[in-house]
Structure 1
Amino acid sequence: MAEPDAGARGSLTIADRALTAITRQVALEVPGVASEEHAGAVERTLGRGFPRVFWHRAGDHAAVEVEIALEWPASAARVTTAVQDAVARELARQAGQKVGRVDVRVRDVVRNAAARPRARVR
């Protein structure tokens, strides 16, 4: 017996929650994006840390908005472009999601732990 065509077997729906998790992880892996540890305790507790992800989906097409915290002195232009490329590529690869647009906004700039001044004792 021949196997039915892949399209005839059914469909797979990936929840926004899963796509959000993929997007957040991919964004955090881009150099220059500040990790969640830079968010305050209250923001982390309330789920308001960065990156934040917002979806607009219609079937297998989507537009996504990502808000990040940028590590100073990283270039905002380079980091946001890298996030756009990485998110679109990984959502297509991991979830088969066609992303028409990825908007990235820098909502905060934080100092990298290595760039923070150290206390000096005299």
Structure 2
Amino acid sequence: MADGRGTLTVTDRALTRIARQVTLGVPGVAPEEYAGTVERTLGRLYPRVQLQRTGARARVTVEVALTWPASSAQVAGQVQEAVRRELERQAGQDVLQVSVAVREVVRSASARPTARVR
């Protein structure tokens, strides 16, 4: 009866969105709210995800901003694992490589200095 079943097509856009949401869930990755005014205006928020796919095989590049004092090595490793795992689980995508680049380090809201009045 398997012959009567349809097919499932997952678009590159859907895979990119999955990877982006998964990346935002990794501790130490700065949420969009930490983007500067220029980045927001230009629509260049982190994380940025690029996907190259050939059939069922994909290579993913992720650019992130970290919150201080997160370890870039730990966060990058966690992003790699999370993106690979979720693309395979949610979309059946064979992920050959996940590259992570840290492009900015920002202070979290709790680490920002508070204004002092004298």
Normalising by structure 1, report the TM-score: 0.90
Question: Which deviations, in whole Å up to 9, do the C-alpha atoms of 1:57-83 show, x marking residues without a partner?
Answer: 110110000000011110000000000
Q: Confirm whether residue 77 of structure 1 aligns to residue 83 of structure 2.
A: no
Structure 2 counterpart of 1:16:
12
Give the root-mean-square deviation of aligned CA atoms.
Answer: 1.4
Q: CA deviation at 1:47?
A: 2.3
Corresponding residue number in structure 1 for 2:117: 121
Which letter does structure 1 place at the counterpart of 2:7? S
Runs of 4+ in structure 1 off by over 4 angstroms are none
> Quick one: percent identity of the two aligned structures?
64
Once the 2 structures are TM-superposed, how far is the Cα of residue 53 of structure 1 from its aligned partner?
Answer: 0.6
| 2:9 counterpart SS class | coil
Question: Is 1:64 matched with 2:98?
Answer: no
- Residue 100, structure 1, aligned to residue 96, structure 2: yes
State the structure with more CA Rg. Answer: 1
2:25 alignment counterpart:
29
Which residue, 51, 64, 75 being the options, matches 2:47?
51
Q: Distance in 1 between matches of 2:9 and 2:37?
A: 34
Please report the TM-score for the alignment, with normalisation by the length of structure 2.
0.93
Q: Which runs of 5+ in 2 are unaligned?
A: none
**Count of aligned pairs:** 118
**5+ residue gaps, structure 1:** none
